[in-house]
C-alpha cells in the first residue's frame, strides 16, 4: 500500500466520521425534547398504578370498619403492605416533608406520603364532598366522589400552607374516585364547581 492510497483512505474515514457526527447531531436534536415528555408519561403511568392499589386498600378498609381510615397512611401496613405505593415518582420531595393541609408528607409515616387525601381536605369538607372527621360518610357523589388526588403532575413546589390550587395554575391532577378508577381533572377549573362530569 503506497502512501498516497493511505492518505485517501484516511480522508475517506474522516468524511465518514463527519457524516456520522451529522446524523447523531440531528438525531439528538430530534430526540432530546422528547425525553422529558416520555419521562412525564412514565411518571403518570406509575402514579396511576399506585393510586389504583391505594383505591383497593381503601375499599378493603371500608369493608372491615364501615368507614374510611382517618389518614391515608392508616392503610399501611395492613391494607397496603408496600409504603412506596404512597409516593408519586413525580414528587420532587419523594414524600419527605412535614405535611400541610393537603398532603400529610412524613408527619405520620416516616417513608412519606405524596398524595392528597381528599376527605381530610378542608375545602372538600366545606363544599360537602366529604363529612368532617372521623367518619367522612358516603361522599357527596358516592363512588364518584374524589378520594385521593395527586398534585405533583402540575405543582412542582411545596408550600407549607397550601390548601387550594393557586389561581392561574395549569395542568392535570390525577384523581382516584371512590369506585377505584383513576381519572384526571383540569387544575385550573374552579374547585367549587366540581361535579363528576368534570372527570376526563
Ligand atoms: Zn402522581
Read off the pLDDT of residues 85-102 as tens digits, 9 standing for 90 and up.
Answer: 999 999 999 999 877 778
Alpha carbon of 179 to ligand 1 centroid (Å): 18
pLDDT at residue 7 in the model: 62
* 51 and 22 co-located in one domain: no
pLDDT at residue 8 in the model: 62
Alpha carbon of 158 to ligand 1 centroid (Å): 14
Question: Measured between alpha carbons, how far is residue 50 from residues 54, 79, 87, 120 in Å?
Answer: 6, 13, 8, 20
Q: How confident is the model at residue 164 (pLDDT cuts 50, 70, 90)?
A: low
* 55 and 108 co-located in one domain: yes
* 58 and 91 co-located in one domain: yes
Q: How confident is the model at residue 145 (pLDDT cuts 50, 70, 90)?
A: very high
* 120 and 174 co-located in one domain: yes
* 9 and 52 co-located in one domain: no
Alpha carbon of 44 to ligand 1 centroid (Å): 6
Q: How confident is the model at residue 103 (pLDDT cuts 50, 70, 90)?
A: confident
* 18 and 46 co-located in one domain: no
Query: What is the span of the domain harbouring residue 122?
Result: 37-198
Alpha carbon of 18 to ligand 1 centroid (Å): 43
Alpha carbon of 171 to ligand 1 centroid (Å): 12
Chain mean pLDDT for the chain: 87
Q: Which residues are paired to 11 by β-bridges?
A: none
* 177 and 82 co-located in one domain: yes
* pLDDT over threshold 90, residue 143: yes
pLDDT at residue 160 in the model: 61
C-alpha cell at 86: 404512597
pLDDT per residue as tens digits for the range 33-78? 778 888 989 999 999 999 999 999 999 999 999 999 999 999 999 9
* 47 and 118 co-located in one domain: yes
Alpha carbon of 38 to ligand 1 centroid (Å): 15
* pLDDT over threshold 60, residue 1: no
* 192 and 136 co-located in one domain: yes
Alpha carbon of 174 to ligand 1 centroid (Å): 7
Domain count, the chain: 2
Alpha carbon of 93 to ligand 1 centroid (Å): 12
Residue 165, class by beta-carbon neighbours within 10 Å (0-12 exposed, 13-18 middle, 19+ buried)?
buried
Q: Which of 143, 144, 133, 153 lies closest to 71 in space, CA to CA?
A: 133
Alpha carbon of 127 to ligand 1 centroid (Å): 24
Q: How confident is the model at residue 171 (pLDDT cuts 50, 70, 90)?
A: confident
What is the rounded distance in angstroms from the CA atom of residue 22 to the CA atom of residue 18? 6
Alpha carbon of 103 to ligand 1 centroid (Å): 12
Amino acid at each position: 500500500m503506497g502512501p498516497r492510497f493511505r492518505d485517501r483512505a484516511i480522508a475517506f474515514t474522516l468524511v465518514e466520521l463527519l457524516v456520522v457526527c451529522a446524523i447523531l447531531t440531528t438525531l439528538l436534536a430530534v430526540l432530546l425534547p422528547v425525553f422529558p415528555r416520555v419521562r412525564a408519561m412514565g411518571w403518570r403511568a406509575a402514579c396511576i398504578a399506585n393510586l389504583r392499589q391505594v383505591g383497593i386498600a381503601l375499599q378493603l378498609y371500608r369493608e372491615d370498619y364501615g368507614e374510611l381510615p382517618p389518614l391515608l397512611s392508616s392503610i399501611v401496613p395492613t391494607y397496603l403492605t408496600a409504603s412506596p405505593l404512597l409516593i408519586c415518582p413525580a414528587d420532587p420531595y419523594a414524600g419527605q416533608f412535614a405535611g400541610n393541609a393537603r398532603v400529610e408528607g412524613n408527619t405520620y409515616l416516616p417513608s412519606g406520603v405524596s398524595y392528597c387525601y381528599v376527605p381530610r381536605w378542608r375545602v372538600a369538607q366545606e363544599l360537602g364532598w366529604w363529612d368532617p372527621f372521623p367518619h367522612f360518610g358516603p361522599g357527596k357523589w358516592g363512588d364518584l366522589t374524589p378520594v385521593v388526588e395527586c398534585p405533583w403532575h402540575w405543582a412542582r413546589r411545596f408550600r407549607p400552607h397550601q390548601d387550594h390550587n393557586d389561581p392561574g395554575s395549569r395542568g392535570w391532577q390525577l384523581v382516584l374516585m371512590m369506585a377505584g378508577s383513576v381519572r384526571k381533572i383540569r387544575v385550573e377549573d374552579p374547585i367549587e364547581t366540581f361535579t363528576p362530569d368534570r372527570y376526563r
